[in-house]
Amino acid sequence: MGSTLPIALPALKTSPKFIFFTDFDGTITAQDSNDFMTDTLGFGPDLRRQGNADVLNGRRHFRDAFRDMLDSIRNTPFKECIDILRKNIDLDPGFKQFYEWAKENNVPIVVLSGGMEPVIRALLAHMLGQEAADEMQIVSNGVAAREGMNINQPGGWQIVYHDDSGFGHDKSLEIRPYARLPAEERPVLFYAGDGVSDFSAAQETDLLFAKAGRDLITYCEKGDVPYTTFNDFSDILATVKDIVAGKLTVQEAAAGRK
């Protein structure tokens, strides 16, 4: 009887030996688009940082703190938000090279984001081209109009969460079916992230890349979660290349802070 796993698990379509799951904001991008909108169009950095601290210390769920951030962007229509982000958000300096290497070497990239898919696709199209934006698998939250309004009215849009979890999008739910595959079918799994939206994914893959100086490292050190630090995707590319070539194991790579 033929396996139906590739249908249920899209990243298996090309029978890869490695899969790279990654956050988007502050990981693939140099800046976090949601933080930028909140700081410049919403209630500002102080309340945003307090919300992140509350999540990090277990006082609030991420979904509630994040909704408060986005709800504070009351005066900017969604299309205008996209236009502003295109002008202000940059691609991580090493990601284009990593993306091209991964494509050439059959390492699928799966974006798992606590942000909003329309924003992600718009920024990827702007920074990498429409083909990359169309072909990359993205699992994220949606956007919808508020009742009786249009998303392109001031205050007219709102986030629509991917699931009912405290994260809004529990990234572990996307990774675990791959992790539970039989050993002979299971690829090596990587994850890269930087912040509080990545806590749900931190313990689900074979190797976690945590961005230097960010909240994900604090979380990992509090919970004794193995990880390796990166500054940009050039660090990630060097490590993943060595693992794919058999020069380095994932256990050896999980060295913590660098």
71 is catalytic: no
Sheet holding 18-22, edge to edge: 157-160, 137-145, 109-116, 18-22, 188-193, 207-211, 228-230
**Annotated active-site residue in 23, 170, 194, 215:** 23
CB 195 within 8 A of CB 28: no
Question: What whole-number distance in Å separates Cα of residue 211 and Cα of residue 234?
Answer: 12
23 is catalytic: yes
Q: How many CA atoms lie within 13 A of 242 on its CB side?
A: 12
Question: What whole-number distance in Å separates Cα of residue 187 and Cα of residue 182?
Answer: 10
Question: What whole-number distance in Å separates Cα of residue 69 and Cα of residue 48?
Answer: 7
Tell me the CA distances in angstroms from 177 to 171, 180, 241, 251, one per residue in order: 11, 5, 25, 22
Give the helix ranges, DSSP H, for the chain: 5-8, 33-41, 45-56, 62-71, 78-88, 95-104, 117-128, 130-135, 172-179, 215-223, 233-244, 250-253
Burial per residue of 85-101, b for 16 or more beta-carbon CB atoms within 10 angstroms, e otherwise: beeebebbebbeebbee
Residues with a catalytic annotation lie at 23, 25
